[in-house]
Chain A
Amino acid sequence: MNMQTNLRALLLASAVAFAPAAYAETPADALVVAGSINDIITLDPAQAFEFSGNDVNQNTYDRLVDFDPADLDAGFQPSLAESWEASEDGTSITFTMREGVTFHSGNPVRAEDAAWSLQRAVKLDKTPAFILTQFGFTPDNVDEMITFDDTTLTLQLDAPYAQSFVLNCLTANIASVVDKELVMQNAEGDDLGNTWLATNDAGSGPYVLAGWRANEVVQLTAYEDYFQGAPAMKRVIVQNVEESSAQRLQLERGDIDVARDLSPTDADAVAEAEGVKIEEQPRGRILYMGLNQKDELLSNPAVIEAMKYLVDYEGITSSILKGEFVTHQSFLPKGYLGALDETPWTYDVEKAKQILADAGIEGGEVTTIVRDLREYTDVAQALQGSMAEAGLTLNIEQMTGAQVLDAYRAREVPIFLGEWGPDYSDPNTNAATFAYNPDNSDEANATGLLAWRNAYEVPAEMNEATLAATQEQDSDVRAQMYQDIQRQYQAEAPIIPLFQRIERAGLRENVNGWQSGGAVTSVIYRGVTKGE
């Protein structure tokens, strides 16, 4: 595979010299995107949790609050809810619904639909349901906890959560508002329309789902009555193209407007080509190194400290990850409330040696398993080299992603190299997994917590700080709390954030307003326009 990749790169590079100017062009009012969309298994917003499914639902549904594609940093904005107000004790929030909005079916969007959508997601209890149930909703109590009248919707919470925490969670796709009447007309048994919604849309978003053929294509058409104005692109077509070089050829020929999965080599080449451009946006995924605390060597604080200096941050980003990641040494991705931009560690083998010598550690050996993806194995090998310089031996075994994940969830990976993607746009999504582990015993079986998977006994005060941050009403203070947690984390935790993912989308030069969703959300098509 590696040889093939090199060969392809060489061939394509040599071809660029001969490549003629593109003749084809997509229609002025259509956006044609190529990417890998074979991860979609359902389009029901109460269940879909895959990247490509979220990319569709983000555009076919609205939520009570949503991001502005032109300014993600502004955070959640009024959408189907015009305004909201928290009770004095902070345990309930009441939303006032926007009037005059209609679903694609023509039915009006009512407070009842919004309440039912949230209740439905809690009752179906599919994977993303935890985003809502963490506020105390259960299938049994949700009908009492989420109530509505003609114009308002009230969420009764089980604790005085930070308003920003609740509202950030409501930007997630599971909080999409679905058309109750339409869905219930198509429900089978007690499935609350789960089967029907897997392939149909019942939203009010800027785009209507015109079709999804698995592993092939997703087609969207503009919703002309969209409450924020009909989008400029009347059709959006997302074609499943898995080969990066095929995407690049299509982009350079003008057969597509956007290529979303370009390899580093192809992205570099596209950046040089005429009529096309590369737009970089940081995404939410963090590549990190987890040191399993069940391992005697790796649980030594001096080894943990030394390992931070044995990663060749610059070398790896420039020669292995090649523009797909940037160095980022804290667990909240850039773009999140409370993200920390400090990078305390540099590649410094001498310093690592000194730390190990001061602690009286002379050599040591670890055998770990790494997922058989080129990025991960190359990073592991770079680490192997620098560890050897510091007198530590790293043995690497390659396995499939599924095998590594199984072992990791069973706390059996000594040094884990892999990525974590946030589940929703609030800092708690990462804090609650990196920096929270109330019970480190095997019996706790908290497979969802990264700290537990690495057997990291999170100090009590950090557990408490993570919980306290979810209830801080002042957003500035809240951001400060997360920064403090991350500094403490950098100082002592055996889970070491290394890099943050960058999406390098290849675009035709006339495409403006492309929004991949940044670190906090999914792709948003409604701001896209095409120039001459």
Chain B
Amino acid sequence: MSASDIDAAGGRETPSPGDQRPAAPSATRRRAKRIGGVILSLALTMLGLMLVTFIIGRVMPIDPVLKVVGERATQAQYDAAYQAMGLDDPLIVQFLNYIRDVIEGDFGRSISTGQLVLNDIKRVFPATVELATLGTLIGVFVGVPLGVIAAANRGGIIDQVARVLAIVGYSVPIFWLGLMGLLIFYGILGWVGGPGRQDIIYTGMVPTVTGLLLVDCLIAGDWGAFKDAFSHIILPASLLGYFSLAYISRMTRSFMLEQLSAEYVTTARVKGLSERAVIWGHAFRNIAIPLVTVIALSFGSLLEGSVLTEIIFSWPGLGQYVTNALLAGDMNAVLGGTIVIGTCFVALNLLSDLLYRVLDPRSS
């Protein structure tokens, strides 16, 4: 799924030159139609996503009942659990029941944690959001300038450094880099906190308000806990930020190169504008739109794709939760996680769509 899906479905129309009459009712109707279209496409996307996930879950060669009752269970106990989980219904009935429950706000109970999926997700998702947000911020604030400078000094030393950084970022397994990071910055240097979101001694000291630990520490005004939480998040976030910046800097560089070879840039230079003004004032403004898409996608992939980082750093986030659930055949939890991630992607797409309108004067 990408931002362009929503464009197609949401219909980001450009007013045609002949369409000059400002008829209020028809504009309202058009807007309503557009919103309706967006909602319909969202509903269909989510339904398709759930259907595919549901079917994959049911054909997987993992017996979820055994996870619940254990291998020592008698046949009677097994059968009781099988029925209680609704597995004796036909697949389509199971799916429809699930959809009905979800619409009623009931995501079911996870068999790998024994708790309501909704509560589980409320607990694990903020941990992932916090990590992915910080990672993306690092990726953007380092990656974008790096890409712009690399493009402006094509073939220069900074361009070479950026290239090597990106190649390493693309090719080194995150697993290895994570363990190396822990070993050096936690094990040997002691600059950062170890695995987990905070030192064990701070566990449960800060009341949960948003679930975002850094924010909760600030709300509680506990500076010590904040510093501790920051020391724990900075290493995994930097790691994710590194992977994100490898992608963002490469994309920024290629967008910029395209712009810098355009005629308006030459014109600007001929007019005698400083190189800085040409790059940041003219070329960069024009790459803002595709860059927003790149950043949104990168954020989305960090939300769903930081499983290994979460495992290495014992980070109790959504990636780890869904992976554990998948291995246990815990489909309620997997579906719940899928819906959350799917919704995030859709929301990010809408957001980038919205930003297009802000950034591109032609679309307003």
Contact = CB atoms under 8 A, between A and B. Distances in A.
A405 B78 CA distance: 15
B201 A27 contact: yes
B175 interface: yes
B342 interface: no
Interface in B108-123: 110-115, 120, 123
A318 interface: no
Contacts of A217: 200, 203
A126 B314 contact: no
Interface stretch (A63-71, A240-248, A376-384): A240-248
Contacts of A18: 188
B316 A402 contact: no
B5 to A, nearest CB: 33
A361 interface: no
Given A246-B194, A249-B187, A127 B114 contact: no
Contact of A12 (B68, B72, B115, B183): B183
Contact of B187 (A19, A23, A50, A214): A19
Given A49-B70, A246-B314, A11 B113 contact: no
B204 A211 contact: yes
Nearest to A249: B187
Interface string A8-39: 10011001001110010011001010000010
Contacts of B186: 249, 253
Contact of B316 (A19, A215, A256, A448): A215
B194 A253 contact: yes
Contacts of B204: 210-211, 219
Contacts of B190: 20, 23, 253
B13 to A, nearest CB: 47
Given A215-B324, A241-B314, A255-B199, A445 B75 contact: yes
A134 to B, nearest CB: 11
Contact of A128 (B61, B72, B179, B312): B72
A403 interface: yes
B176 interface: yes
Contacts of B195: 241, 243, 246, 249-250
B72 A130 contact: yes
Contacts of B67: 41
A240 B114 contact: no
Give the most central of B111, B112, B114, B204: most A CB within 10 Å: B114
Given A15-B188, A41-B113, A250-B195, A255 B200 contact: yes
Given A30-B201, A130-B74, A239-B200, A249 B194 contact: yes
Contact of A215 (B69, B70, B194, B321): B321
B66 A405 contact: yes
A127 to B, nearest CB: 5
A214 B115 contact: yes
Nearest to B188: A18
B196 interface: yes
Contacts of A351: none
B125 to A, nearest CB: 13
Interface in A188-238: 198-199, 210-211, 213-217, 219, 237
A4 B312 CA distance: 13
A241 B195 CA distance: 8
A393 B62 CA distance: 30
B201 A26 contact: yes
Contacts of B75: 445, 447
A242 B188 contact: no
Nearest to B314: A241
B123 A213 contact: yes
A472 interface: no
B183 A405 contact: no
Nearest to B183: A15
Number of chain B interface residues as a range: 35 or more
Contact of A214 (B62, B77, B120): B120
Given A198-B115, A199-B115, A252 B187 contact: yes
A286 B329 CA distance: 27
Nearest to B189: A20
Interface string B307-350: 00001111010001100100001000000000000000000000
A62 interface: no
Nearest to A405: B71
A125 interface: yes
A38 B179 CA distance: 21
B114 A41 contact: yes
Contacts of B80: 125
A214 B316 CA distance: 9
A307 B65 CA distance: 35
Given A126-B77, A213-B316, A405-B66, A423 B112 contact: no
Contacts of A12: 183
A382 to B, nearest CB: 26
Contact of A241 (B73, B196, B321, B324): B196
A483 B324 CA distance: 42
Nearest to B315: A216
B296 interface: no
A402 B330 CA distance: 13
Interface string A408-442: 01000000000000010000000000000000000
A254 to B, nearest CB: 10
B182 interface: yes
B222 to A, nearest CB: 18
Contacts of B173: 4
Contact of A240 (B77, B175, B188, B314): B314
A20 B189 CA distance: 8
Contacts of B201: 26-27, 30, 32
Interface string A354-392: 000000000000000000000000000000000000000
A352 to B, nearest CB: 32
Contacts of B35: none
Given A20-B190, A32-B200, A41-B112, A402 B63 contact: yes
Contacts of B183: 11-12, 15, 245, 249
A449 B26 CA distance: 75
Contacts of B324: 38, 215
A408 to B, nearest CB: 9
7 contacts: A30-B201, A41-B112, A245-B179, A245-B182, A246-B195, A246-B314, A445-B75
Give 3 closest A-B pairs by Cβ, nearest first.
A214-B113, A216-B316, A41-B114
Interface of A: 4, 7-8, 11-12, 15, 18-20, 23, 26-27, 30, 32, 38, 40-42, 49-50, 125-130, 198-199, 210-211, 213-217, 219, 237, 239-243, 245-246, 249-250, 252-253, 255-256, 400, 402-403, 405-406, 409, 423, 445, 447-448
Given A30-B201, A32-B201, A237-B200, 13 more contacts: A7-B176, A15-B187, A41-B112, A49-B70, A127-B69, A127-B72, A130-B74, A210-B204, A215-B321, A240-B316, A243-B311, A243-B314, A448-B74
